Structure 1
Amino acid sequence: MEEIYRLIEEKIKEAGHEGNVSGKDIYDEICDQIEEAENGSYIFMSKKDDDVFFEYKIDVMDDNFNLSYIDINTPQGKIHVDFDN
């Protein structure tokens, strides 16, 4: 699991986000959101502080999920983090 957490953090930093992020926290939040979800594609929003929120695009399947992208919305603009590439 540590590898997954590190990958999430690295992708976000590579996309240009300079704030602190926790891959574990993001992964856990996604798991909580999709716990009872049916198969399909979902967009989830998560407010991180007063002026920053994350938008997750997730595809839920029977035994797993795919984090397609995260859009990090800040006062300076949007940072798109593509996990499908």
Structure 2
Amino acid sequence: MDEIYQIIEERIRQAGCMLDIRGCDIYAEIADFAEDKEDGTYIFMSKPSDNVVFEYKIDVMADNLNLSYIDINSPEGSCHIDFDN
């Protein structure tokens, strides 16, 4: 799992986002969201702090999930992280 967390963090940094974001927190949030969902594609938003908003696109499948993208909006700017490319 640590490898997945590191990939998430690296892709966020590569997109130019300078916020302190932990891959394990992102993964835990999307896993919790997908837990009881039917198979399909979902877009959901979360607000981890007063001035930061995450938008996630997730494909939920029977045995796994796919994080397609994260959009991060903060006072410092916006970042789009595409995990499908």
Distance 1:18 1:77 in 2: 10
Farther-moved stretch of structure 1 (67-76 vs 9-18): 67-76
Letter in 1 for 2:75: P
TM-score, scaled to structure 2: 0.95
Q: Percent of pairs identical after alignment?
A: 62
1:77 to partner: Cα distance: 3.2
Name the Cα RMSD after superposition. Answer: 0.9
Give secondary structure in 2 for the equivalent of 1:16: coil
1:46 to partner: Cα distance: 1.0
Distance 1:37 1:78 in 2: 28
Tell me, which stretches of 5 or more residues in structure 1 are unaligned? none
Match of 2:47 in 1: 47
Match of 2:69 in 1: 69
TM-score, scaled to structure 1: 0.95
Match of 1:23 in 2: 23
Tell me, which stretches of 5 or more residues in structure 2 are unaligned? none
Matched, 1:10 2:10: yes
State the number of aligned residues: 85
